[in-house]
């Protein structure tokens, strides 16, 4: 028998960590990527390392995070344990890859009249650099009647933010329309 020790490579430690961060219930509806980055200020995250996970009504349910190193991930664990507002759960890199992120280049119009056509929405958005129709339409339950929502995409974050600033709380067919930038 050969008594020489054979060198076995240790399991490769991933240099990145993928997690889902969620709150007690869900994240606030106006939660931004920058809010998460500032909360986890010791973790060296960038805007590209955060993807907000929305439900069908575009309310944030959590966020997928990609940590640049194991140390960064461990710092996030320490911070979330101390703060107790959020919890981290490991996810596979596949979850990260399959999650589509709008990266702040889309705006959700809420309260659009059900009778509004694409040209009415275009008229409402006049003066902004939106991408041409078709727009994505959704209806969610509301009181006293369902609320129509329209997702409008823009070429850049700046265009989406400018549209939000200029048009939020405007009127489409005499109905007030609120807007949210979708991260």
Write out the residue range of the structural domain in which residue 73 sits: 17-98
Is the pLDDT at 3 greater than 70? The verdict is no
Q: Which of 98, 125, 151 is the last residue of a domain?
A: 98
Domain count of the chain? Answer: 2
Q: Is residue 7 part of a domain?
A: no
Query: 9 pLDDT exceeds 70?
Result: no
Statement to judge: residues 120 and 76 lie in one domain: no
Q: What is the pLDDT of residues 13-66, one digit of tens each?
A: 344 678 888 875 557 777 788 888 998 888 889 999 999 888 888 888 888 999
Q: What is the CATH number of the domain that holds 126?
A: 3.30.70.330
Please indicate, yes or no, if residue 2 is contained in any of the structural domains.
no
Residue 4 within any structural domain of the chain: no
Per residue, what are the HEC states of 85-128? CEEEEECCHHHHHHCCCCCCCEEEEECCCCCCCHHHHHHHCCCC
Please check whether residues 92 and 110 belong to one and the same domain: no
Give per-residue pLDDT as tens, 98-142: 888 888 899 999 999 999 999 999 999 999 999 988 999 988 887
CB 183 within 8 A of CB 103: yes
Q: State the Cα–Cα distance between residues 42 and 65, nearest whole angstrom.
A: 14
Q: How many CB atoms lie within 10 A of CB 95?
A: 15
Q: Which of 71, 98, 125 is the last residue of a domain?
A: 98
Domain boundary among 46, 75, 98: 98
Tokens of 42: 């010791």
- Do 86 and 145 lie in one domain? The reply is no
Q: Which two tokens stand for residue 123?
A: 């008229």
Q: Which residues of 15-50 are buried (b: 16+ CB within 10 A; e: fewer)?
A: eebbbbbbeeeebeeebbbeebbebbeebebebebb
- Helix (H, G, I), strand (E, B), or coil: what is residue 145? coil
């Amino acid at each position: 028998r050969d008594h020489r020790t054979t060198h076995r490579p240790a399991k490769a430690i991933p240099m990145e960590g993928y997690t889902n961060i969620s709150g007690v219930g869900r994240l606030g509806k106006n939660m931004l990527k920058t809010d998460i980055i500032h909360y986890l200020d010791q973790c060296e995250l960038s805007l590209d390392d955060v993807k907000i996970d929305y439900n069908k009504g575009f309310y944030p349910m959590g966020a997928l995070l990609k940590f640049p190193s194991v140390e960064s991930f461990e710092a996030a664990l320490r911070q979330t344990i101390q703060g107790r507002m959020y919890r981290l759960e490991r996810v596979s890199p596949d979850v990260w890859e399959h999650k589509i992120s709008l990266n702040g280049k889309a705006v959700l119009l809420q309260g659009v009249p059900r009778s509004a056509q694409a040209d009415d929405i275009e008229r409402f958005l006049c003066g902004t650099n939106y991408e041409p129709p078709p727009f994505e339409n959704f209806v969610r339950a509301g009181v006293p009647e369902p609320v129509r929502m329209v997702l409008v995409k823009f070429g850049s974050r700046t265009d989406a933010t400018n549209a939000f600033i200029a048009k939020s709380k405007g009127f489409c067919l005499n109905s007030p329309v609120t807007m949210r930038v979708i991260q």
